[in-house]
């Protein structure tokens, strides 16, 4: 009996350690971009517009500006924000999962690391969605399929121009339409 309990406890401990070690890499994805930060952002924006499924650009943010304004210095980081009312509507209509609005709009982060390379960071929408039941799992599975298309780059295509977007109601050049605001 002691061996059975000890084996069970060791198994639980092993699973807990593995979950702790790998949880971050399961919840988020990071891929290297073959392009610089601005070109990667522009290509992602272009792909979001091509995917269809109601996706619209809703914002472009530079979180490094806040650090710089307080005297700090960080490598470039630009967040591309997009939303699809096709996917957001079922979640926003359901009281039991409306709190997931915190995940809207969908964000793709493009940043440079100290190794000089550009990277793309995204939430693992499919895995995240599965934690909240079948309806959210189905919706987020479709979001994940589209996200995979956001970061498919054809190096033979010329680089598009970056679209300077801002959320509806925000001041700044090139505001987005209310449909993309999520």
Contact by Cβ (8 Å): 83, 180: yes
Range list of β-strands (E), the chain = 28-33, 55-61, 77-84, 106-112, 118-123
35-88 pLDDT per residue, tens:
999 999 999 999 999 988 889 999 899 988 888 888 888 899 999 999 999 999
- 150-162 confidence digits (pLDDT tens): 999 998 899 898 8
DSSP 131: T
Residue in the structure block whose two tokens are 């709190």: 99
Which residue segments constitute the domains of the chain, with CATH numbers given? 25-180 (3.30.310.70)
**Taking 80 as the threshold, does the pLDDT of residue 118 lie above it?**
yes
- The larger pLDDT score, comparing residue 171 to residue 164, is at 164
Q: How confident is the model at residue 182 (pLDDT cuts 50, 70, 90)?
A: low
Mean pLDDT (whole number) for 120-145: 87
Q: Tell me the average pLDDT across 17-29.
A: 62
pLDDT at 164 over 90: no
Q: Determine the pLDDT at residue 102.
A: 87
Element (H, E) at 23: helix 2-27
Q: What value does the mean pLDDT of the chain take?
A: 82
């Amino acid at each position: 009996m002691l061996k059975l309990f000890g084996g069970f406890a060791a198994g639980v401990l092993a699973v807990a350690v593995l979950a702790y070690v790998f949880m971050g890499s399961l919840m988020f994805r990071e891929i290297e971009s073959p392009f610089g930060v601005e070109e990667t952002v522009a290509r992602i924006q272009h792909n979001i517009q091509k995917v269809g499924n109601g996706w619209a650009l809703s914002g472009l943010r530079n979180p490094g500006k806040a650090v710089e304004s307080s005297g700090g210095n960080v490598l470039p980081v630009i967040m591309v924000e997009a939303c699809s009312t096709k996917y957001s509507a079922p979640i926003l209509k359901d009281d039991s999962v409306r709190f997931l609005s915190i995940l809207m709009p969908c964000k793709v982060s493009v940043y440079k690391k100290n190794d000089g390379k550009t990277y793309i960071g995204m939430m693992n929408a499919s895995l995240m969605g599965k934690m909240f039941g079948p309806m959210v799992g189905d919706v987020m599975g479709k979001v994940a399929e589209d996200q995979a298309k956001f970061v498919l780059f054809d190096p033979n295509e010329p680089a598009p121009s970056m679209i300077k977007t801002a959320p509806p109601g925000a001041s700044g050049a090139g505001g987005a339409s209310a449909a993309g605001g999520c």
